[in-house]
Amino acid sequence: MRRIPVASALLLGLLLSFSAPAADVAATLAARPELSRFAAALKASGLDARLRQGHWTLFAPDDATVALPLPPFRAAQLPALRDWLAHHLVPGHVAPGTARIGQAPRALAGNSVQLQAIGGPLLAGDAPVRGAAVPADNGLIYVLTQPLLPFTP
């Protein structure tokens, strides 16, 4: 009659293996190989720590499109890097269609980022979004095929 407890233990183990804890936006971003340069820039700038608290929406250009210097970043680059990244980080949860016309969510840098899909692909501002948003326990990551604005050191 020991089969019932063994089967219960196996079932419990199986259920627990499928319910892995969710990761915050910074950890979710760092786990995406196609966003490694953006993640490295966030870490170098110190903004990754900020993404572990509160709710965030990231507009992250993938490695194939972003014109960032390769890590390691020089100290002289960090102010420009931090400013550029702030245009891609929006406090709160931004989903398509949640902002009314003329009322787009504001990024840390103060710029508006409107998500829209009118007769075509989803756009973040003028940047096309690749695929569905990547969920994290404290926000969303939209993978962009181009940055919201060019990086100028």
Q: What is the pLDDT of residues 21-49, one digit of tens each?
A: 569 999 999 999 999 999 999 999 999 99
Alpha-carbon distance of 70 to 72, in angstroms, equals: 6
Residue 79 confidence (pLDDT): 95
Residue 12 confidence (pLDDT) above 80: no
Q: pLDDT (tens digit, 9 = 90+) per residue, 110-140?
A: 998 888 877 788 889 889 999 999 999 999 9
Which residue, chain included where needed, has tokens 């269609």?
A: 97
Which tokens sit at 47? 């903004």
pTM exceeds 0.85, yes or no: no
CA distance 115 to 98: 8
Q: What are the residues whose beta carbons fall under 8 Å from the beta carbon of 141, sequence distance 6 or more?
A: 25, 28, 29, 32, 35, 57, 58, 60, 133, 134
Structure-token match 């969510």, residue found: 105
Amino acid identity for residue 42 in this structure: L
Residue 16: band (very low, low, confident or very high) from pLDDT cuts 50, 70, 90? very low
For tokens 């979004």, the residue is 129
- What pLDDT score does 101 carry? 52
Tell me what pLDDT residue 11 has: 36
pLDDT tens figures, 47-62:
999 999 999 999 999 9
For 128, the 3-state DSSP assignment is strand
Domains of the chain are 22-144 (2.30.180.10)
